[in-house]
Chain A
Amino acid sequence: MKHLTIKRAALWLCASLLALTLLPLAAQATGLQRETVTILVDFTTPTGTTILGTIVGHRIVDVPTTTEYTFTGTVNGLPAHASATVTERWADDGHAQIEVTALPDWQIPGVDPTVRQFSVVQIAKNLITVNGLPVAIDGNLQAPGGGRTTYIATNPGRGPLEILALPNTGVGPAAALGSLELVGLPGTPTDLIALVLAGVLAGISGLLAWTARPWRKAAVHADRI
Chain B
Amino acid sequence: MRALPRVLLVAGTLAVLLAAGYGAGLGYLSWRESRAPSTGAVLVLKDGRRVPLIQPAPPVAPTSAAGATPVPAPGRAGIGAPAPTSDQPSAAALPPLRVRVPRLGLDWPVVLSDGQHLPRFKGVGWLLGSAYPGQAGNLVLLGHLDGPYATFGRLHELGANDTVAVVTEAGVRAYRVRTVFQATPDDVAVLAPTDQATLTIITCSGRWDPRVRMYDHRLIVIADLVTSVTVR
Select A129's contact among B26, B123, B145, beta carbons within 8 Å: B26
A197 within 8 A of B: no
In whole angstroms, what is the CA distance A139 to B116 when docked? Answer: 24
| A181/B115 contact (C-beta < 8 A), A149-B89, A156-B32, A163-B43 known | no
Interface string of B159-186 (1 = CB under 8 A from A): 0000000000100000000000001011
* Inter-chain contacts of A163 with B (CB < 8 A): 41-44, 53, 115, 188, 191
B64 within 8 A of A: no
In whole angstroms, what is the CA distance A175 to B116 when docked? Answer: 20
A182 within 8 A of B: yes
B198 within 8 A of A: no
Most chain A Cβ neighbours within 10 Å, of B183, B186, B203, B213: B213
* Inter-chain contacts of B191 with A (CB < 8 A): 163, 166
Within 8 A of B (CB), among A161-217: 161-173, 175, 178-179, 181-182, 186-188
* Inter-chain contacts of A138 with B (CB < 8 A): 37, 39-40, 54, 56-57, 86-87
- Asked if B93 and A124 make an inter-chain contact with CB atoms under 8 angstroms apart, the answer reads no
Interface string of A137-164 (1 = CB under 8 A from B): 1111000000111111111111111111
B120 within 8 A of A: yes
Most chain A Cβ neighbours within 10 Å, of B33, B38, B91, B143: B38
* Inter-chain contacts of B118 with A (CB < 8 A): 77, 167, 169
Within 8 A of A (CB), among B206-222: 208, 210, 213-215, 218
Select B33's contact among A73, A157, A168, A187, beta carbons within 8 Å: A157
Select A172's contact among B22, B36, B213, beta carbons within 8 Å: B213
- Asked if B147 and A166 make an inter-chain contact with CB atoms under 8 angstroms apart, the answer reads no
Which B residue sits closest to A171, measured CB to CB? B147
Within 8 A of A (CB), among B38-87: 38-44, 53-54, 56-59, 86-87
- Asked if B33 and A150 make an inter-chain contact with CB atoms under 8 angstroms apart, the answer reads no
- Asked if B148 and A178 make an inter-chain contact with CB atoms under 8 angstroms apart, the answer reads yes
A125 within 8 A of B: yes
B204 within 8 A of A: yes
Select B144's contact among A139, A153, A158, A169, beta carbons within 8 Å: A169
* Inter-chain contacts of A61 with B (CB < 8 A): none
Which A residue sits closest to B41, measured CB to CB? A161
- Asked if A175 and B56 make an inter-chain contact with CB atoms under 8 angstroms apart, the answer reads no
Number of interface residues, chain A, beta carbon within 8 A: 66
Select B56's contact among A72, A126, A158, A171, beta carbons within 8 Å: A126
A120 within 8 A of B: no
| A53/B112 contact (C-beta < 8 A), A78-B121, A129-B26, A139-B58 known | yes
B57 → A minimal CB distance (Å): 3
- Asked if A139 and B87 make an inter-chain contact with CB atoms under 8 angstroms apart, the answer reads yes
* Inter-chain contacts of A188 with B (CB < 8 A): 210
In whole angstroms, what is the CA distance A151 to B57 when docked? Answer: 9
* Inter-chain contacts of B203 with A (CB < 8 A): 169-170
B190 within 8 A of A: yes
* Inter-chain contacts of A96 with B (CB < 8 A): none
| A160/B146 contact (C-beta < 8 A), A149-B89, A167-B118 known | no
Within 8 A of A (CB), among B78-124: 86-91, 93-95, 97, 109, 111-121, 123
* Inter-chain contacts of A164 with B (CB < 8 A): 44, 186, 188
B130 → A minimal CB distance (Å): 10
In whole angstroms, what is the CA distance A40 to B131 when docked? Answer: 12
Q: 6 interchain pairs (CB within 8 A)?
A: A125-B34, A127-B33, A151-B87, A153-B39, A159-B40, A169-B152
Please give 7 more A-B residue pairs, beta carbons under 8 A apart, in addition to A52-B111, A129-B26, A138-B39: A126-B34, A132-B22, A164-B186, A168-B213, A170-B208, A172-B210, A175-B146
